[in-house]
Amino acid sequence: GFGASLSETIADFNADATLTVGTGAQVNAAAASGNVNLTARINHDGSNFLTGRGAIGSANNFAGGLAGVSVGNVKVNANSTMLVEVGTDASLTTGGGDVKVIGKHGNTATASLASAAVGLVAVGVGSATPVAGGSTTVKYLGDVGDGTAAAARHLYVQAEGYTAATGALNSVAGGLV
């Protein structure tokens, strides 16, 4: 007999996160030494990037018979975006604390394929294609206070990104031909 296995796996992770403080807005810390913290996160727990998240695709193929043909393709695309923006003329103030505007964005793609073909004639073909892209943007276009006097101890504007694409392919074909 003839054995054939064909599979195609496609996985996409295209999340978008946007955190904005609009033009002319006012954000004030209530306590005398309080902080203003504006933080957006994708695949980040506040301390570390979360691996094993994002776009994940896998397939397992097996074909066996007098003639065995196994074909498998795994395509994974992670292309998420993040924007954190404090608008023009927005005012962020504290009574002596810090103003922090932060974006932390993890974007990962993982593709794996295990494929086997067995027979007198055996053919095995496969691909595992991970692609990770995306962007992390943090903009501060406003003022700390009214723009004329210090209204915070420190201003932190931070964009932090982690991008990884990982692929694994294990393909075996065994036969006389």
With tokens 């608008």, the residue in question is 87
> What pLDDT, on the 0 to 100 scale, is given for residue 147?
67
Alpha carbon distances (Å) from 72 to 41, 108, 130, 132: 34, 22, 14, 21
pLDDT in tens, 63-118: 888 888 888 899 999 999 999 999 999 999 998 899 999 999 999 999 999 988 88
In percent, the amount of the chain with pLDDT more than 70 equals 99
- Tokens (6 digits) for 127: 């691909």
Confidence of residue 177 (pLDDT cuts 50, 70, 90): low
User: Could you write out the DSSP letters of every residue in 134-166?
Assistant: -EEEEEE-SEETTSSS---SEEEEEEEEEEEEE
Calpha distance 98→100 (Å, rounded): 6
**For the chain, how many helices (H) and strands (E)?**
0, 13
- Torsional sign, CA 107, 35, 147, 22: positive
